[in-house]
Structure 1
Amino acid sequence: MPEAPPRHVFVYGTLRRGGRNDINRLRPAPEYVGMGEVRGVLFHLDWYPGLALGGEEAVTVVGEVYRIAPELEAVLDEIEQVVPGADSEYFKREIDIGVGGRSVACLVYEINPQHVRDRQPIGHGDWIVFHKA
């Protein structure tokens, strides 16, 4: 069976460099590609954020893009508590992210809308700035 090719992931919260779950501390090691951005809304859930893609209140959400091996994708799925069905905390999406003037197909862990129903957005798109304030 052929080996699965590496994929890209957009991380916008605790998985960012210096965050509580810094992706650079995970194995197999990811390869940094660059800073990226997407339109969406960030919500403060507790010690971590949730991203809802698009929407009327959308702002530019910044994050880091990494090339990852399939083994690391499985680790990220566990961290983000991705499970089959409608009760998953996050849903894994693949969308195009702007990185350095080009478009890169990336996995994005989008929060389940049921988990942010009564939450207020943080008002901008940078979790690191919000969390350090």
Structure 2
Amino acid sequence: MPQPDPTARHVFVYGTLRSGGSNDISRFSPIPQRVGDGEIAGTLFDLGAYPGAVLGGEGRIKGEVYRIAPGLEVQLDVLEEVKPDGSGEYVRRELVVEVAGRSIACLVYEIHPSRIAGRSVIASGDWMARD
């Protein structure tokens, strides 16, 4: 039986990276392992072709948790336009997500606050079920 990769991390995806989304994370390599569904505290904004999450507050955002290898984390940073100085489109954060009774530390990509002005909120917190 293969041993787990000790450098693997987890990511919480809430938008186009979700299963069936336009950037479905399962298309990336190395292929991530789906751990389960989860929710985080935050507000989801509609940016047109994709959403952006602002973390915290009373709202809930629905998403999926995947175990990823370091090489995939680098690819996700590029896709999400993360910049070391925090000026990119998204900022990489880390928070704990409850999945099937387990607490899992996950990367979450939070939209830069400058990108949400005038954007509508997705009240359901579910990008895949938006109207």
- Pairwise CA distance, 1:86: 3.6
Residue 107 of structure 2 is aligned to residue 124 of structure 1? no
Unpaired segments ≥5 residues, structure 2: none
- Pairwise CA distance, 1:4: 6.4
Match of 1:68 in 2: 68
Within the candidate set 5, 9, 26, 2:11 is matched to: 9
Secondary structure of residue in 2 paired with 1:54: strand
Q: Are 1:4 and 1:70, in contact at CA under 8 Å, matched by a contact in 2? A: no
Secondary structure of residue in 2 paired with 1:84: coil
TM-align CA RMSD: 1.3
- With normalisation by structure 1, the TM-score equals 0.90
Match of 1:45 in 2: 47
Residue 79 of structure 2 is aligned to residue 94 of structure 1? no
Q: Partners of 2:41 and 2:115 in 1: how far apart?
A: 19
Aligned partner of 2:122: which letter? I
Aligned partner of 2:56: which letter? G
Q: Partners of 2:120 and 2:21 in 1: how far apart?
A: 22
Point out the structure with the larger strand share.
2
- Pairwise CA distance, 1:124: 1.6
Q: Partners of 2:77 and 2:38 in 1: how far apart?
A: 20
- Pairwise CA distance, 1:117: 2.5
Q: Any runs of at least 4 consecutive aligned residues in structure 1 with deviations exceeding 6 A, and if so which? A: none
Match of 2:24 in 1: 22
- With normalisation by structure 2, the TM-score equals 0.92
Match of 2:104 in 1: 104
Unpaired segments ≥5 residues, structure 1: none
When the two structures are aligned, how many residues end up with a matched partner? 127
Secondary structure of residue in 2 paired with 1:83: coil
